[in-house]
A and B are shown apart, each in its own frame.
Chain A
């Protein structure tokens, strides 16, 4: 195979990969427009309803939704908190259900 053929094959290959994945982007965008995402709205509503009593119990710092103990979130949303807990569990090589988190606070540069 000549140098030119090698270059053409490489270029063609990377173009095929980009085209295939760009096609998937289009498919995902179409899927998101097709009203397939009604479930999260319900879940969001349910989560808000579940969080409401907790918020009234402790007005200044509400308990994290779904928590089994006194787990508080300061300037941290539940999804970030879930990721933090997963990362800590992974770093410690311990199952998540064997760890107890008391609170999670976002440290901003101002507080440093």
Chain B
């Protein structure tokens, strides 16, 4: 009889119900994970990623699940643990996390993004590349604030700054290399704010532009030939990678995916990159990123600072694009609607849709969507270049 009681006691002591009361922070993380699940499932905030991230977060914070071991990754960074050790001793999420740490998942996501992107509006109006560059102001403004005001280490400040690129895969790619311990809060901030773009951008857009500027109708874009669309990804890869080799994995995959789409002879590959591959990698990426949000590493003041800085990064990025848009509007004698500048923050195609909606509010016959797609896809290239720069400077 005593023996049976001992067994029951041991079972109780090893169960999650017993372990969960050992640290109240685990309960908080479970509530946070459930809240993020609610945002993804009910409010439809980037559900394809947020549901996976939230579920990964839930799994690792259930006591005793042993799915992710940050100490193994600390050892890997310190050089005392090898990938073989991680395979032997790690949990499921440790193994999936190898794809994040190696930069594999973000690059494959970019392959799919490239296969879904039409660079036609950008080729038709190359000036929009400047708007995509100006909107990267958010990255560098947040980098400065993170380093100088919040006293983060430069490599961490660079990872926080990249939230302003409004590009989830780029943020994950850079953070996994520069500051992997902050991967979860940075990824969650990036994806949450991307989902909130329709709320974040319009107040700044209305503040920085006049009613007359918002009413401006832009000229029709020129048609872009098939040849131009095929040559574009090849020459962009050659020139940008020669300029900044560290950006090769992201930009190379983006342009390869686009070449699959535009070439017309690799439809099967384009289809796989856009659908099957993208979906598989999205599952792995989301769950493993969420899995890094362990209570003892996530519930810190730094997480709150990152959330604040992420919002500021998005606002500064929007301002950068809008201010250059206003300048270009003046220079061209009112031919450019400054609203398209805010689309330079990436977040394809959400930011372009916001430009369209704000333009249509001022003038119902105003169709800015295609014009805004130029800066929008330029922003993807711009944020990848900024990430490459940060990696070259702070990557050791």
Contacts and interface: CB of A to CB of B under 8 A. Distances in A.
A, B bound: yes
Interface of A: 1, 3, 6-7, 9-14, 16-25, 27-29, 31-32, 36-40, 43-44, 77, 79-80, 83-84, 86-87, 90, 106-108
Contact of A21 (B132, B154, B224, B353): B132
A24 B126 contact: yes
A13 B367 contact: no
Nearest to B392: A16
A25 B129 CA distance: 7
B386 interface: yes
Given A27-B235, A40-B225, A83 B370 contact: yes
Contacts of B382: 17, 20-21
B385 A21 contact: yes
B225 A25 contact: no
Given A9-B393, A31-B232, A14 B140 contact: yes
Contact of B154 (A1, A14, A38): A1
Nearest to A7: B144
Contact of A18 (B130, B141, B236, B244): B130
Which label, helix, strand, loop or mixed, suits the secondary structure of the A interface?
Answer: helix
Contacts of B129: 21-22, 24-25, 28
Nearest to A27: B235
Interface string B369-396: 1100000001001100110011001000
A79 B232 CA distance: 23
Contacts of B154: 1, 6, 9
Of the listed residues A16, A18, A20, A29, the one surrounded by the most CB atoms of chain B closer than 10 A to its CB is A20
Contacts of B130: 18, 21-22, 25
A40 B239 contact: no
Contact of A3 (B143, B148, B224, B353): B148
Interface of B: 122-123, 126-127, 129-130, 132-134, 136-137, 139-141, 143-144, 147-148, 154, 157, 220-228, 231-232, 235-236, 239-240, 243-244, 353, 356, 364-365, 367, 369-370, 378, 381-382, 385-386, 389-390, 393
Contacts of B364: 107
A13 B386 contact: yes
B148 A6 contact: yes
A20 B243 contact: yes
B358 to A, nearest CB: 14
Nearest to B131: A21
Contacts of A108: 365
A76 to B, nearest CB: 9
B223 A43 contact: yes
16 contacts: A3-B148, A6-B148, A13-B389, A14-B137, A18-B130, A19-B243, A20-B382, A21-B129, A21-B132, A21-B378, A37-B222, A37-B227, A38-B225, A38-B227, A77-B220, A83-B367
Contacts of A24: 126, 129, 236, 239-240, 381
Contacts of A29: 126
Minimum-distance CB pairs A-B, first 8: A40-B223, A28-B126, A10-B140, A39-B225, A21-B129, A37-B225, A36-B227, A21-B133
B123 A28 contact: yes
A36 B133 CA distance: 26
B143 A87 contact: no
Taking each of A1, A9, A77, A86, which has the highest tally of chain B beta carbons within 10 Å of its own beta carbon?
A: A9
Nearest to B394: A9
A2 B315 CA distance: 25
